[in-house]
Amino acid sequence: MTDSVLHMDGISFRRGKREVLKSIDASFEQGLFYAILGPNGVGKSTLVEILAGHLEPDAGTASLFGTPVNKIPARKVAQAVAVVAQSHDVRFAFSVRDVVMMGRHPHIDRFGSPSEDDFRLVEEAMNVADILHLADRPVTEVSGGERQRTLFARALAQDTPVLILDEATSNLDMKHTLSLLSVVKEKVKRENRCAVGVFQDINTAALFCDRFLFLKDGHVAVSGHVDETLTPETLWEVFGVKTRVMEDASTNSRQVLFSPGGFHG
């Protein structure tokens, strides 16, 4: 047993005949922002869905604050873990404000109404996600990126110690990607929270995350500090792409250069 916020112990998960995750061990601690990376279909979303308690592993245990997630009532899990997934499954025409208020539901008594604090957190989250001007619009009638920011705001309003981002910024413009991930990073550092994000864009992940976890063939291929793991060797091993990795002094972060034909040498 560890004192990690989230812990995966021997997690395996099967989709049909294919074993997607094969005995994965991983720990996620407070005060750190983790990036999960790897090729399409490798199991990144599956892994975070197991962490969030949305999927039951075939073997192994996912724990939240030392207790198996599947032994914790869903409402308690929702008080501790907020998830921002990609926004295509929003089907009902709730207003943007009502969707953000849904983030407060795990904290409001079943027959109670939102308190002043709930309303304040909702307004703050909408402000951070830059959607105050959309508050009364049906969420089905805003753009894909605006809907994504609504789901981001909902998770921020949920105000949990753990935040899981599943390609949460993939369809956001640069400005909103930078501002929302800055807010997440600040919460992780100032408020000692834990964030775990699935990213396709390695350079965005490198700007904000402290630790990388690369998946390949159902296993954790490489994991650790960004400075130690974000190397041309790792990117070749995991993605089969030749790259250059540069140290950017102004942001103090590593950035990857890609070339269509690959770099040689």
Least distance from ligand ATP to the Cβ atom of residue 165, Å:
12
Question: Residue 46, interface with ligand ATP (CB under 6 A)?
Answer: yes
Q: Which of 14, 15, 133, 244 binds ligand ATP (CB under 6 A)?
A: 15
Q: Which of 24, 43, 97, 172 binds ligand ATP (CB under 6 A)?
A: 43
Q: Give, as ranges, the residues between 77 and 106 that touch ligand ATP (CB under 6 A).
A: none
237/247 with CB nearer ligand ATP: 237
| CA torsion angle 220 225 229 231 (round to 10) | 160
Question: Residue 45, interface with ligand ATP (CB under 6 A)?
Answer: yes
- Stretch of 2-10, 44-52, 172-180, 247-255 lying at the interface with ligand ATP (CB under 6 A): 44-52
66/144 with CB nearer ligand ATP: 144
- Stretch of 4-12, 39-47, 183-191, 245-253 lying at the interface with ligand ATP (CB under 6 A): 39-47
Least distance from ligand ATP to the Cβ atom of residue 215, Å:
7
* One-letter-per-residue 3-state SS of the chain: CCCCCEEEEEEEEEECCEEEEEEEEEEECCCCEEEEECCCCCCHHHHHHHHCCCCCCCEEEEEECCEEHHHCCHHHHHHHEEEECCHHHCCCCCEHHHHHHHCCHHHCCCCCCCCHHHHHHHHHHHHHCCCHHHCCCEHHHCCHHHHHHHHHHHHHHHCCCEEEEECCCCCCCHHHHHHHHHHHHHHHHHCCCEEEEECCCHHHHHHHCCEEEEEECCEEEEEEEHHHHCCHHHHHHHHCCCEEEEEECCCCEEEEEECCCCCCC
**CA angle centred on 137, ends 131 and 138, rounded to 5°:** 115
x-or-dash string of contact with ligand ATP, 16-35, rule CB under 6 A: ----x---------------
Question: Residue 252, interface with ligand ATP (CB under 6 A)?
Answer: no
x-or-dash string of contact with ligand ATP, 194-233, rule CB under 6 A: ----------------------------------------
Question: Residue 42, interface with ligand ATP (CB under 6 A)?
Answer: yes
41/262 with CB nearer ligand ATP: 41
37/99 with CB nearer ligand ATP: 37
Task: Give the strand order in the sheet containing 211-216.
Answer: 81-84, 162-166, 194-198, 33-37, 211-216, 219-225
Question: Residue 171, interface with ligand ATP (CB under 6 A)?
Answer: no
Question: Residue 41, interface with ligand ATP (CB under 6 A)?
Answer: yes
Question: Residue 44, interface with ligand ATP (CB under 6 A)?
Answer: yes
Question: Residue 14, interface with ligand ATP (CB under 6 A)?
Answer: no
Site residues, ligand ATP (CB under 6 A)? 15, 20, 38, 40-46
